[in-house]
Structure 1
Amino acid sequence: MNTDAFRSSISPASYQRAAQEDRCGPRTRLAIPAQLRASGGRGFRTFVQDLSISGFSAAAINRMHEGQLCWLTLPGLQSMQAQVVWWQDCTVGCAFTELLSPIVHDDIVARYRGDEA
């Protein structure tokens, strides 16, 4: 397979579609206290409601717009850039700009599910 042709067929839009429509990573329902900041705005406290390696949904009282960049900060981690895919009824769904490491994902899930020993 020609890898250049393969790479050129992958676009941010195809990534977002895979992240949100195909749900390429299993979503885990959680309640994680976090900080969310929209591009050009102030950060605000939120709760991440579900998490996968490709994205998350979180509470967002103020309307966020499709395509808007934002940064999610989870306890003990650096801010992660994401893009708003949808907003409805004070909940925002976002796709991470870079996939979350499965190891980091599993650690977060274990911590907030109470699986940690």
Structure 2
Amino acid sequence: MVDTQQERYAAAAQEDRSAVRNRISIPATLRPSGSKSLQTAVRDLSLSGFSATAMSQIAPRTLCWLTLPGREEALQAKVVWWDNGLVGCAFERLLEPDELDAVITRWASDRRGAR
């Protein structure tokens, strides 16, 4: 039985590891705890996390904040892995499906307008 909020999140996040990951390339800002913000490109995005470019190594379990275009509020996440210039992070709070759809839709419409 899942009792605490942390256990519920862990169970949901594990289920979402197999969720659809939207392969994209969205310019964003990533700020690891204790470091300066860096420009990045989000490579995939799901309800539970994202992967993005990060040329400098970021240690697993590092808290970070991702700011996406069109969102005022940064998304808090924790680094799960870093490998050869890519970082994978899990959101501290799962995105709602409509939040994810809004980001994907906004980015797709921004790209269409830029053509």
TM-score bracket for the superposition, by shorter chain length:
0.7 to 0.9
SS at match of 1:105: helix
Counterpart AA for 1:99: L
Identity of aligned residues (%): 42
Structure-2 change in CA distance of 1:45 and 1:15 (3 Å): farther
In structure 2, what is the Cα distance between the partners aligned to 1:105 and 1:17?
Answer: 15
Q: Which runs of 5+ in 2 are unaligned?
A: none
Q: TM-score, normalised by structure 1?
A: 0.82
Partner of residue 82, structure 1? 77
- Against the structure 1 CA distance between its residues 65 and 17, is the aligned structure 2 distance closer, same or farther, given a 3 Å change threshold? farther
Pick aligned residue for 2:7 from 10, 18, 25? 10
How far does residue 94 in structure 1 lie from its aligned partner after superposition?
0.1
Residues 104, 54 of structure 1: CA spacing in aligned structure 2 closer, same or farther, 3 A cutoff?
same
Kept in 2, the 8 Å contact 1:49–1:58? The answer is: yes
- Write out the 4+ residue segments of structure 1 that deviate beyond 4 Å after TM superposition: none
Partner of 1:55: 49
Aligned residues: 110
Provide the alpha-carbon RMSD of the alignment.
2.5
Return 5+ residue gaps in structure 1 as ranges.
none
